[in-house]
Structure 1
Amino acid sequence: MALTPPLQPMLAEARPTLPRDSALPGGLAFEQKPDGYRAILFAGRDRAVLQSRNGSDLGPAFPEIGAAARVLPPLVLDGELVVAAEGHLDFGELQRRSRYRGATARNAARTASAHLIVFDVLDTADGPLLDQPYQARRALLEGLFADGILGPPFALCPATTDRTTASDWLDPAWGAVGIEGVVVKGLAQTYQPGRRGWLKVRARASAEAVVGSVTGRVTAPSTLLLGRYDSDGRLRFVARTAPLSRTASREVGARLYWGDEMHPWQGRRFSAGWGSKETIDHRPVVPDVVVEFTGDTAVDAGRWRHPVRYLRVRDDVSPEQLPLVDG
């Protein structure tokens, strides 16, 4: 095997809509983007390394993947590590499992098994495939599944060259089961480690929440911290917007008032982003302004994982009319 860990994965650049055929070499292929961890598997009878996107070894946390990898012929596979539960991909359970080791990890492998959804093959016993076009690598990958060489816990990532099918995958209904969107690849593209040569389009849907706090000035906020109430009447943080336009900032700021010392978010610390230890300098406001926003389908226990985009104020909706958040 020519390829050894760590290997930088090829990456995707975000786009708001599906591109046209001329965007990438050789025409376009569209793949589903599952909600999981990017992982490269170095498999073979003498090794099993499950490498994360940043180069760390996920193997100790997911021993069932390693066990299956050790009975494979020499292969390097690129894919998305997922955990499924109750008919959808459960990112929260995947996060919990990533922290387990030893007997705890082995027990979790039996009760909440992981799968690797494979979308590329990068190396075989015959040599590396990085310089081969995507179309050739995909055909080889499909053959590995068709011939029974790859099977559970490995799954073939759905792919199509039909733009209409890819558009259907952006429906929020797919998001509800854990498909974040679509990755677009050129049929003639080679695999270029570390380069953002693919394109990614996230599925998005609109929702409403109450403005609980802001960054910047209350009368002209930079971003909004959004909340919904839970069944106990607590205001729970659910999302943060991307920076507002000047028009949006004026529109929302004209309706906001400083929150007093009894505000539930006074003194509360919020993370600046998913996985970040940096906190936000924010200013609580009276939680009576409801706004509509669009966000992707990565939602964990009612909380949007990525920044959302402000659309408009909803004067016709009160905070009490919003869906409750629990979990």
Structure 2
Amino acid sequence: MHLSPPVEPMLARSVTALPSSGARPVLFEQKADGFRALVFTGPKPYLQSRRGADLGPAFPEITRAAAALGVEAVVDAELVVWHNGRLDFTALQHRARLRGARAEHAAREQPAHLITFDLLELSGTVLMDQPLHQRRSALENLFASLGLAAPWALCPQTADAATARTWLDPAWGAAGVEGLIVKESGSRYRPGERGWLKLRTRMSAEGIIGAVTGSVHAPRGLLLGRLDAAGRLRLVARSTPLSRTATAELGAVLRPAGAEHPWWGRKFSAGWGTKELLTFQPVVPDLVAEVDTDTALDLGRHRHPVRYLRLRDDMAACDVRE
């Protein structure tokens, strides 16, 4: 039996804390900031996205590596681009849009890598019903026997919770490690199920409140900015829905802004990857908010909504810069 694309990848559900130690042993893996990819190696290589699309034309160097592996296998991995000392999600997105000669040029200038963490099939044997620790052992043996090097990489994994906690340090986040994936050591691979846990690295940050959704005196959410090198207010984040307490607190101090506002007449998308436009009300950008966020940044912009914590009365807007 052989697996054929598309294969639904096993998924993870988000949690806010590491699970308490239980009867079932768990393994911790680093969560890299990239694209999920299933790699079918051998004479008919295929690079499948999480949603089943063919990523091969955009990443020809990965397709060639899959063809040259020397064994037929199906590997679960994170597709990443390393640039300027960190995993660069923006560069990865740019590469995903390229084809032909432009894709080949990008492959030379900003080559992609595969951070592999699971082995679903090897030499015609489907491994998905085997426990995770056996699949991991088979993956490590594959790396050792073939002497795999770039673009192949083995995802760091540990059974030690103390070591895993060190991977939640924001310093790892600055390098592009978003957090942890937690998996039961004895679990089988269940396509499409959220059987793993995902814990993102958290940190606090500041932003200038530049606009709100809802009304100025009863805001539902915040649009936050920072000043760029030229002193212009640039949108960097939007918040999750505000609590009733935060709505009351902010509604009492925010002031509506007019055409002098730098975002007056601007259009912002309603969310990541959508063309729907956001309806917002500009406010006088003189208040600074502290927010809770993860480490997923694209050119200084927070990819996921941030959570409002409090006003920073001790900070002026001019202090909040990129």
Q: Give the TM-score category using the shorter length.
A: over 0.9
Match for residue 67 of structure 2?
A: 70
Q: RMSD of the TM alignment (CA)?
A: 1.1
The separation in 1 between residues aligned to 2:249 and 2:26, in whole angstroms, is: 41
Match of 1:263 among 247, 261, 264: 261
Extract unaligned runs of 5+ from structure 2.
none
Determine whether 1:16 maps to 2:16.
Answer: yes
On the 8 A contact 1:35/1:179 being kept in 2, the answer is: yes
* Counterparts of 1:198 and 1:145, CA distance in 2: 24
Q: How many residues align?
A: 321
Q: 2:50 aligns with which of 49, 53, 56?
A: 53
Report 1:33-52 matches (<5 A): 33-44=31-42, 46-52=43-49
**Whole-Å separation in 2 of the counterparts to 1:171 and 1:271:** 31
**CA shift for structure 1 position 271:** 1.3
If the length of structure 2 is used for normalisation, what is the TM-score?
0.97
199, 202, 212: which is aligned to 2:200? 202
Map residues 187-198 of structure 1 onto 2, 5 A cutoff: 187-198=185-196
Unpaired segments ≥5 residues, structure 1: none
> Take 2:283 and 2:183, find their aligned partners in 1: how far apart are those partners?
44
SS in 1 for 2:24: coil
Structure 1 counterpart SS, 2:308 = strand
Alignment partner, residue 242 of structure 2: 244
SS of residue in 2 equivalent to 1:306: coil
Matches within 5 A, 1:120-135: 120-135=118-133
Q: Deviations over 1:190-218 (max 9, x none)?
A: 10000111000000111101100001121
Equivalent of residue 185 in structure 1, options 183, 186, 192: 183
SS at match of 2:310: strand
Contact 1:273–1:306 at 8 Å: present in 2 too? no
Q: Secondary structure at the match of 2:153?
A: strand
The equivalent residue for 1:223 is 221
The 2-side partners of 1:58 and 1:126 are apart by: 23
Measure, in 1, the Cα distance between the counterparts of 2:197 and 2:270. 26
Partner AA of 1:7 in structure 2: V
Task: Tell me, yes or no, if the aligned pair for 1:26 and 1:189 is still in contact at 8 Å.
Answer: no
One-letter identity of the residue aligned with 2:297: V
What is the TM-score of this pair, normalised by structure 1?
A: 0.96
Deviations 1:152-203 (A, max 9, x none): 2110000001101111101100000000000000001110000111000000
Runs of 4+ that moved beyond 6 A: none
Say whether the 8 Å CA contact 2:58–2:95 is kept in structure 1. yes
User: In the TM superposition, what is the alpha-carbon distance from 1:151 to its structure 2 partner?
Assistant: 2.6
Q: Which amino acid aligns with 1:116?
A: L
1:65 CA drift (Å): 0.5
Q: Report if aligned partners of 1:256, 1:285 keep a CA contact under 8 Å in 2.
A: yes
